Every structure is written in C-alpha cells, then in structure tokens.
Amino acid sequence: MELTYDTFYIDGGWVRPSSDRVIIPIDASTERPLGRVPEGVEADVDAAAGAARRAFDTPGGWAEWEPVRRAEVMERLAGAIDRRADEFVTRVSSQNGMPAAVARQLETGYPSAVLRYYARLARETAFTDVRPGLFGGSVEVRRAPIGVVAAIVPWNFPQALAMFKIAPALAAGCTLVVKPSPETVLDAYLLAEAVAEAGVPAGVINIVPAGREAGASLVAHPSVDKVAFTGSTPAGRAIAEVCGRLLRPVTLELGGKSAAIVLDDAELDLARIGQGLFGSTLLNNGQTCFLGTRVLAPRGRYTEVVDAFTALAGSLTIGPALDPETRVGPLATARQRERVESYIAAGRAAGARLTTGGGRPKGLDRGWFVEPTVFADVDNSSVIAREEIFGPVLTVIPYDDVDDAVRIANDSDFGLGGTVWTEDPERGAAVARRIQTGTIGVNRYIPDPVAPFGGIKASGLGRELGPEGLTAYQQTRTLYR
C-alpha cells in the first residue's frame, strides 16, 4: 500500500497546502512507510476555520436547516462510510497496529452506528420548546448550534473518536475543522472522500491532518466557538488553559487507569469470560483509554486471579495487525513502545512480580511489538499502578474486603472506565455505583452510543455520546414573548 495525497479537504474541495511539509505514516507492523500526505500548518488551519465559519454563518445554510434535512445528509454519510469499510480497516490497522478484527467492529461499524444514532436524535429531538411564563406571557427556549467546532483526535481509535465529535456536531447544526493525529492520516482521507460523496455542504466538515503546533493554532483560532479534544491528560490541560483564557467551551476526553474489580464470587473460567475480560483490559494492544488495567483481586483468591490473567495474556496470538488471527498487534509508534517498555522496567525495578510477558515476542523482528504483560504483587502506590501505560500491561493488586477494593479503585488520579466481575449482577451494580468514575460495567464494558461517555478527575471534562453529547454542541437561546 502506497497512498499519496497532496491536498486537504477544505470548503468542499481539494485544496493545495500552504507549505511543503509532509507527514509519512508508517506501518506499525512492518515499520515501512505507507504513503505521504501534506502536513497542515497555521495557514491551512486558518483556511479550514474560515471555511467552517462561512458555512456556519451563511443565512439559510446548514446551521439553519431543519434538523431532519441534516439527518438525511448524516445517513448518506453513514452509507458512504459503510461502503469503504474494508479500506478503513486496512488503513487504520496498518497505521496504528489495531488488530483488523477490532478495527472492523470499532473503526467502521461503530462510527457509522454513532452517526445514524445522532441522525435519529436530530429527527426526534425537540430543538425548541415554549413554556408558559411564571409572570405571564410565554418563553421560547431554542437549542441553537454552538458554532464552529475544532475537533482534535488521537491515533488510537481515529475514526470512532472523530465520530464522537462529528456526529453530534452535525446533528446540532455546527460546522467543524477536524484535526487528525499525524500517526493516523490515511483513514482521514477516506473520511473526506465519504464526506464529499455524501453531499455534505461545502465547509461543514473540513479535515486538516497536522501536529501539535497547528493543533494549538486551531484551539486558539478566532473563528472557533468550541473545542472537542481526545488525547493525553497533559495536552488536555494545555488546551483547557487556552480555552479558559478565551472563555471557549471545551470537552476533554483524556487518559485513564481504571479498575477491574474481581469480586470473591467471580467466575474465572476463561472459556466463559475470557473475551469480556480481554475486551475490557487489553483491547487494541492496551491502547484504549477506558481499560481496567488495575485488576483488583480478593486476597482469598489472589493466586487464582493472577493465574487467570496470566493464562489470558499468555494465550493471545501476537502478530501483524492485518492478520485476521491476531489478537494483539504492535504498538502504534516506536515512541509508544519505548514508553511502555520503560514502564515495564519501572515495574521490575519496584519489585513487582512479572508473571508473563515483559519483553518483545520472538520471531517478530519488525514492528513495534510488546508481549502482553502481567505484574503481580503490585502496590497501588507504585508508578505502574498510578500512571497510564497505554500498552498491554496489567497490574494485579490484592484487596482485603469490598470496602478496601472500593478504596483502592477510587485512589487514582483518573476516573474514566472500570468493571466489576461477579456472579451476582445486583451486588456487582451496588459495588460499581461506589466507584468514582464516568463509566463502569458489570461483567462487560463497551461504550454504548446511547449513554454519556467521559471521565472525572484527570480523565477529563464533559461527556460525549448519548443525548447529553448533543447538548455539548448546543447553546440555549431564550426569547421572552
């Protein structure tokens, strides 16, 4: 695969870049270049933001369309994405190492489902309501679109996380500048082609792949009304500071270090729950923000839990991302592997007991592979239990009783995801409700598009998905009559 692009998708057309800078995406499984695209700089961001501004401000334009008319465009876009499903899988998996089977579910089917869900909300939600006034007369409350959105997305789920922003923004009547991460740019061009094919009006969605500097210029751009960001906590803090100064609304989906709490009655038969455990602790080579990477195990069954996770991690087929048999692919970049390996070294140095993995898999000399790794005898105060590793590395931490498990789970700088494993779903739900986190599951975890997703503490601000995710792209306008 060699894919070369020399334009950006701005204002409904293919526009030449303003500089000769390029991004060369690399195949995470082979370390070979996959193609070349232009790298956006401040002037390109400016062109895209200007186009989004004009599209938003045009009288009778997108922002003022009846929501059902916007829904029709969104449904056409979902169809255009579906028609490119195979190509999305190939491009995403090659670039970021996501196993193709995961990409098929979460990077094509899931984004178009999110888009159709918000199209339905656009059809069914009341955008205006009229209330009798307390002192006579009536009051009209209109949910107006917030304006031009800067959507800044990371490389780990580039299409799903872009759609968490694009779909509600379109439903609300906003226009967008989407800035993909430099690691995942080729899928962004497929999305641009789908946008063009679906007849999304010019300027409503503009896409400029670029790095941090151009991203920062987008955050602060005078034409932008709202920033929606997914990425690391340090970048989120930097963006929030700028938005604070500008009084610009911002949504932040940041890192996590969630707990997977195994209760004393939990089933540990991997034939029954292995898939669920895998999906909630190791999905996408551990490069998933909501994973329960701190496994909390009751002391009475500690050895059993360590053995179960050791067996699970040791049983996973490691291989190139595009191989349909692969359960664990390479990490997205050389830098990401260095980071993960430095945490594994820190775990060893702190005296944690390595029960499986810890190195690079044999026979895979190219590609940024790391073995699925489990550490036992970990204290919740150690670096590998406190910081987000963003790789296939689990820590198993013992607890005394349920109160102790809840205390350890809540003793974290983050609060994004989590799971509780038990044979008694009601007991599991009662424990889950005590965890300080934005989302949590009992015996399963998958962000459901109908419900708000997001974090507390250092995991972020605001929510995406669900009807709540739509209100983040609206502002109420009140008219007393």
309: nearest Cα among 343, 356, 347, 258: 356
Q: Which is nearer to ligand NAD, 75 or 388 (CB)?
A: 388
CA distance 28 to 251: 30
To ligand NAD, the closest distance from the beta carbon of 221 in angstroms equals 11
Q: Which is nearer to ligand NAD, 240 or 432 (CB)?
A: 240
CA distance 167 to 151: 11
| Span near ligand NAD by CB under 6 A; candidates 67-75, 83-91, 207-215, 310-318 | 207-215
7, 30, 232, 443: which one binds ligand NAD (CB under 6 A): 232
Going by the DSSP 8-state scheme, the letter that residue 133 receives in this structure is -
Q: Sketch the per residue contact string, 99 through 128, with ligand NAD: x for CB under 6 A, - otherwise.
A: ------------------------------
Work out whether 289 is an interface residue with ligand NAD (CB under 6 A): yes
| Span near ligand NAD by CB under 6 A; candidates 55-63, 228-236, 267-275, 344-352 | 228-236
61, 79, 109, 211: which one binds ligand NAD (CB under 6 A): 211
Work out whether 268 is an interface residue with ligand NAD (CB under 6 A): no
CA distance 113 to 115: 5
Sequence-separated (6 or more) residues with CB below 8 Å from residue 269: none
202, 416, 431, 470: which one binds ligand NAD (CB under 6 A): 416
Q: Which is nearer to ligand NAD, 62 or 157 (CB)?
A: 157
Work out whether 446 is an interface residue with ligand NAD (CB under 6 A): no
Which DSSP string do the residues of 418-465 spell out, in sequence order? -EEE-S-HHHHHHHHHTS-SS--EES-----TTS-B--EETTEES-BS
67, 147, 231, 358: which one binds ligand NAD (CB under 6 A): 231
Q: Sketch the per residue contact string, 334 through 363, with ligand NAD: x for CB under 6 A, - otherwise.
A: ------------------------------
- Where residue 370 falls (left for φ over 0; alpha for ψ -120 to 50; beta otherwise) is beta
Amino acid, res. 471:
T
Q: Which is nearer to ligand NAD, 150 or 266 (CB)?
A: 150
Six-digit token pair at 29? 């499984």
3-state SS assignment for residue 396: strand
Work out whether 219 is an interface residue with ligand NAD (CB under 6 A): yes
CA distance 303 to 268: 12
Q: Which is nearer to ligand NAD, 10 or 291 (CB)?
A: 291
3-state SS assignment for residue 106: helix
The CA dihedral of 283, 286, 288, 294, to the nearest 10 degrees, is: 100
Q: Which is nearer to ligand NAD, 155 or 421 (CB)?
A: 155
CA distance 461 to 454: 7
Work out whether 460 is an interface residue with ligand NAD (CB under 6 A): yes
To ligand NAD, the closest distance from the beta carbon of 8 in angstroms equals 15
| Span near ligand NAD by CB under 6 A; candidates 46-54, 138-146, 209-217, 469-477 | 209-217
52, 73, 74, 152: which one binds ligand NAD (CB under 6 A): 152
CA distance 56 to 224: 11
To ligand NAD, the closest distance from the beta carbon of 297 in angstroms equals 24
CA distances (Å), origin 33, targets 276, 316, 325, 339, 466:
34, 27, 24, 22, 38
Six-digit token pair at 13? 């057309």
To ligand NAD, the closest distance from the beta carbon of 167 in angstroms equals 15
Work out whether 235 is an interface residue with ligand NAD (CB under 6 A): yes
- Exposure string of 140-164, with b = 16+ CB inside 10 Å and e = fewer, is eeebbbbbbbbbbbbbbbbbbbbbb
Q: Which is nearer to ligand NAD, 235 or 260 (CB)?
A: 235
Helix crossing, 67-82 with 186-197: angle to 10°? 130
Q: Which is nearer to ligand NAD, 73 or 224 (CB)?
A: 224
96, 112, 230, 356: which one binds ligand NAD (CB under 6 A): 230
264: nearest Cα among 431, 14, 41: 431
Work out whether 212 is an interface residue with ligand NAD (CB under 6 A): yes
Q: Which of 75, 107, 183, 253 is catalytic?
A: 253
Work out whether 154 is an interface residue with ligand NAD (CB under 6 A): yes
Q: Which is nearer to ligand NAD, 190 or 465 (CB)?
A: 465
To ligand NAD, the closest distance from the beta carbon of 177 in angstroms equals 12
**Count residues contacting ligand NAD (CB under 6 A)?**
30
Q: For this structure, is 241 an active site residue?
A: no
Six-digit token pair at 16? 């030449």
| Sequence-ordered strand ranges (E) for 118-217 | 128-132, 138-145, 148-152, 175-179, 205-207
Burial of 126 (0-12, 13-18, 19+ CB in 10 A): exposed
Q: Provide the annotated active-site residues.
A: 253
Binding site for ligand NAD (CB under 6 A): 152-156, 161, 179, 181, 211-212, 215-216, 219, 230-232, 235, 238-239, 253-256, 289, 388, 390, 416, 455, 459-460
